[in-house]
Amino acid sequence: MTIDFKGRVAIVTGAGGGLGREHALALAKRGAKVVVNDLGGARDGSGGSSAAALAVVEEITKAGGEAIANGASVTDFVAVQAMVKQAMDTWGRVDILINNAGILRDKSFAKMELDDFKLVMDVHLMGAVNCCKAVWPIMTEQKYGRIVMTTSSSGLYGNFGQSNYSAAKLALVGLMQTLSLEGAKNDIRVNSLAPTAATRMTESLFPEAMLQALQPSDVVPAMLVLAAESAPTRTILCAGAGSFEAAHITMTQGAWIGRGDDAPERLAAQLADIKNRDGEIVPESGTAQGHHELTRAMSKMA
């Protein structure tokens, strides 16, 4: 199977450097027309310049591809709408959205200012929401769309000093879960990518030897698979250093405790069994939890 994007139009946010640049270059190399979006700010989100996005566009066009630059902040819905209009005016469609833009404002929760928490949530979560909202009607009418959220191991599993980033990154998984259900009838597939790569965002987190092993280009194959015509949906792929894994939000079989004044004590006594992962499932939707619990309760009370 060859993954090909000829005739497709992709928007990649935060594409002026790091992972976003690699995503944009790879999509263009395989035939996609690309909107290279980047505010051009610092790692903490301050400042702005169009130079980085224009440089990536130049790389793509010199290689024979098609690309346009856009400097919208993903936090500004009006600017995001204008970006999508720019793509439509230029190429007449939008097939792929790679939500990659992000910033870091790391500190322990005790020392973190709420403004820094809110800003990181606004860029990562609301930035993705804004972009999804702007392309959703187009993808619905086309009956085709591929959206990739950029989640993180920090969101999936936690990381000291990144409560804001972790909260935003796991929220994107929740957004993916519901949008994939709502988009299914129109062939809009929504997935998440959890990358480990040496970029401006992570340069202070790893020693130099590890940074050399964690090339951003190593993550790109996962993005291409998640954005392809044959893409899965509701899939979380982890990628780094040439290795790929899948992450899942699962539910154990649990146990029926029932009611009564001593229910908390009986629950505590059986907690280890309830946490046992033998036979765990990946629910098809949020209603699966309630169905599981009601089915068990009805069988026990029959």
Per annotation, catalytic residue among 67, 116, 165, 172: 165
Please give the structure tokens belonging to residue 143.
């009956």
Please give the structure tokens belonging to residue 65.
């591809």
For 94-127, how does the pLDDT look when each residue is reduced to its tens digit (9 = 90+)? 999 999 999 999 999 999 999 999 999 999 999 9
Question: What does the alpha-carbon distance between residue 25 and residue 67 come to, in Å, rounded to a whole number?
Answer: 10
pLDDT for 60: 98
Residues 27 and 96 sit within 8 Å (Cβ to Cβ): yes
pLDDT for 250: 97
Name residue 240's beta-bridge partners. 243
Please give the structure tokens belonging to residue 114.
């709420």
Residues 56 and 21 sit within 8 Å (Cβ to Cβ): yes
For 233-250, how does the pLDDT look when each residue is reduced to its tens digit (9 = 90+)? 999 999 999 999 999 999
Mean of the pLDDT values across residues 189-206?
Answer: 78
* 165 catalytically annotated: yes
Question: What does the alpha-carbon distance between residue 111 and residue 161 come to, in Å, rounded to a whole number?
Answer: 9
DSSP 124-190: IIIHHHHHHHHHHHHHHHHT-EEEEEE--HHHHH--TTBHHHHHHHHHHHHHHHHHHHHHGGGTEEE
Taking CA atoms, 18 is separated from 7, 141, 201, 292, in Å, by 25, 32, 8, 43
Helices 163-183 & 114-121 angle (0-180, nearest 10): 30
| Strand 243-247 versus strand 145-150 pairing type | unpaired
For 250-294, how does the pLDDT look when each residue is reduced to its tens digit (9 = 90+)? 999 999 999 999 999 999 999 999 999 999 999 999 999 999 999
Please give the structure tokens belonging to residue 196.
């480990």
Task: Give the 3-state secondary structure of residue 286.
Answer: coil
In the sheet that holds 9-12, the strands lie side by side as 67-70, 33-37, 9-12, 96-99, 145-150, 188-195, 236-240, 243-247
pLDDT for 301: 79
Q: Which domains does the chain have, with CATH numbers?
A: 9-247 (3.40.50.720), 263-301 (no CATH)
Distance of CA 302 to the CA centre of its chain: 44
pTM: 0.93
pLDDT classification of 211: cutoffs 50, 70, 90: confident
Q: Is the pLDDT of residue 170 over 80?
A: yes
In the chain, the percentage of residues whose pLDDT exceeds 70 is 93
Q: Is the pLDDT of residue 201 over 80?
A: no
